[in-house]
A and B are shown apart, each in its own frame.
Chain A
Amino acid sequence: MIIINKIFVNCGDANHFCDKNQYKEATFWEKVRLNIHMAYCKACRKYSSNNEKLTKLVKNPKVFSINQSSKEMMKEQLRKKMSEI
């Protein structure tokens, strides 16, 4: 029974592994359990494929964001201007 519980995880855990996997932080054992879970769980297969799509979209080189240090600088300048008014 204990062994079965170790191999078959619930959907919550499966989602957690799936999230981790998107950042390449899931361990080998977690990936194995995720794949076993996805073999019989349709909802998690869907979640997983959506998750992958999301990662791909966000990683698209055409999506820009300003890096954190420049943002801090901008905030500093804006604060200065605000105190002038």
Chain B
Amino acid sequence: MSINSIDPNTWIDKYSDYLFNYTIVRVDDKEIAQDLVQETFFAGLKSMKNFKGEASERTWLISILKRKIIDHYRKINSNKGKAEVRMSYAGDANTEGDWLEERVADPFDSNAESEIENTELGLAIHNCLGKLPKKQATIFKLKTMQGFDTEAICNDFDITASNLWVIIHRARTAMAECLEKNWF
């Protein structure tokens, strides 16, 4: 079995987006998700010597993150009452009429399957991005997801526009292939 090594300097570039996608579908708040990811990195740093190298770095970080998410829910649950789910109909004696009809599911609402597909899509995309060479991944992310100008990226990386398009082209081909295997 190959021993996986660990290097905290690369964590944020390599894994932060993947972990972030994993978290956000579970806590549904960007700020909290980002904090949890950051806490995960800190915790990983602390227990680095416990990393045996049997799992990949990412798997290991995800297992820490899972604990962090559970802890997060414990914490908000200990604020008694705030986390309770209150049904508005329960105590409302004077509501009459369309009780049942209002409870019927809206067919135009997105259904459970598409929700699940979407959450997994985020992970699949970042999984594929993780497989690209670092420079390609960074440039692809900047260009496609964060919508930077061609010129701005060229200046940042000190490359020409045609360099950039070649990189983008390679990244897109690799992404399409990877997603085709794992997604389409």
B11 within 8 A of A: yes
Beta-carbon nearest neighbor of B19 in chain A? A66
Residue with the highest number of chain B CB atoms closer than 10 Å, among A51, A64, A85: A64
Beta-carbon nearest neighbor of B169 in chain A? A19
Which residues of A40-70 are within 8 A (CB) of B? 50-51, 53-55, 57-60, 62-68, 70
| Among candidates A25, A53, A62, A77, residue contacting B119 with C-beta atoms closer than 8 Å | A62
| A 14-56 binary contact with B (CB < 8 Å = 1; else 0) | 0110011011010000000000000000000000001101110
Question: Do A57 and B121 touch across chains, with their CB atoms under 8 A apart?
Answer: yes
**Complex interface: chain A residues within 8 A of B45 (CB):** 78, 81-82, 85
B163 within 8 A of A: no
A74 within 8 A of B: yes
A64-B21, A71-B16 given as contacts; is B8 within 8 A of A78 (CB)? yes
How many A-B residue contacts, CB cutoff 8 Å?
Answer: 92
**Complex interface: chain A residues within 8 A of B122 (CB):** 60, 62-64
A: residues with CB less than 8 A from B are 15-16, 19-20, 22-23, 25, 50-51, 53-55, 57-60, 62-68, 70-71, 74-75, 77-78, 81-82, 85
B: residues with CB less than 8 A from A are 8, 11-13, 16-17, 20-21, 24, 30, 34, 37-38, 41-42, 45-46, 118-119, 121-122, 125-126, 141-146, 150, 165, 168-169, 172, 175-176, 179-180, 183-184
**Pairs A–B under 8 Å by Cβ, sample size 6:** A54-B172, A57-B125, A60-B118, A64-B17, A65-B20, A71-B13
